[in-house]
Structure 1
C-alpha cells in the first residue's frame, strides 16, 4: 500500500469546544499512525491492534460528546440532530466491529479501503455533525458562564 496522505490538523477542523478539539486531535494522530503502520505491510496482529485502539478511543470520544449533548440539553432542543449524531457514532462503531469480525475470519480489509473509510468518516463527521453540536454548546456556554 502506498502511504496514505496524513490528515493534517488545521483551523478548519476546530469546533471551538476545547475537550472535543483535543480528542479530535488525538483521533487524527491515531489515524495517521494507523495509516503509517498499514502502509508498511501490516499483519493480522497489526490490524487487530489498530482496530482495537481505534475502537477504544472512538468509544471514549463518543461518550464525551454524548455526555456534552446531555449536559447542555442538545437531545431536547435539537432532538433530530442529536439522534442523527448518535446514529453516526453507532454506525462507525458497527463498521469497526465488522472489520474486527472479518479479522477473526482471516479476512483483511484492504488497507486503502480501510484508511479511506476512516479518514473520510472522521472529516465528514467533524465538519458536518460535530460543528453543529459545538455551535450549540458554545451558544449555551456563552449564555450561562461557568457551566461546562
Structure 2
C-alpha cells in the first residue's frame, strides 16, 4: 500500500482551458502510476525511467502553457510562472543526476516533491493564468468560449 494517497482529479483542479486540463490529467495519471509502482527499494534504472517520463511530459506541457502565454500576451505573471517551470525541471534533472551517480532519493521524498509541486502549481499559478485566458477577448474569440 502506498504512503501517499493517489491524486483524485476533481473540479478544484479544472482550469477551464481544455488543452491544459487534459495535460494536467495526464500528469496526474503519471504521478499516480509512479505512486503505485514505486517501492522503498526501487533500483536506479527504474527511478531514472520514472523521472525521465515525468520530465519529458512536463516539458511538453510547459511548452504548451508558455506558447499560450506568448500567443495571448500574458505578461502580468508570466516570468514567475516560467521560473516555476524551470525550477521544477531543474529539480527533476538534479534528482536524475543524483540517481545516476549513486545518490538515491527516497520514494517518500520524490512523491512528496512531485505531488505537492503539481497540485500547488495547478491550484495557484495555472488557475491564475487560466483566469487571464478566459477573460481574454482574443482567447475567447479563437476558442469560441
TM range (shorter): over 0.9
- State TM-score, norm by structure 1: 0.91
Alignment of 1:51-130 (within 5 A): 51-75=51-75, 78=76, 81-130=77-126
Q: Is the 8 A contact 1:141 1:147 kept in 2?
A: no
Q: Is the 8 A contact 1:85 1:129 kept in 2?
A: yes
Tell me the CA shift for residue 4 of structure 1.
2.0
User: What RMSD in Å do the two structures reach over aligned CA positions?
Assistant: 1.8
Q: 1:5 and 2:1 equivalent?
A: no
Q: Deviations over 1:93-133 (max 9, x none)?
A: 00000001101111110110110000000000001100010
Structure 2, unaligned runs of 5 or more: none
Tell me the CA shift for residue 3 of structure 1.
4.1
Would the alpha carbon gap of residues 29 and 141 (structure 1) be closer, same or farther in structure 2, given more than 3 Å must change? Answer: farther
- In structure 2, the residue corresponding to 1:5 is in which secondary structure? coil
Work out the CA distance in 2 between the residues paired with 1:123 and 1:8: 11
- State TM-score, norm by structure 2: 0.93
Tell me the CA shift for residue 142 of structure 1.
7.1
Q: How many residues matched?
A: 144
Alignment of 1:17-56 (within 5 A): 17-39=17-39, 41-56=41-56
Work out the CA distance in 1 between the residues paired with 2:78 and 2:22: 21
Q: Deviations over 1:49-98 (max 9, x none)?
A: 101000000000000000000010003xx1xx110000000000000000
Structure 1, unaligned runs of 5 or more: none
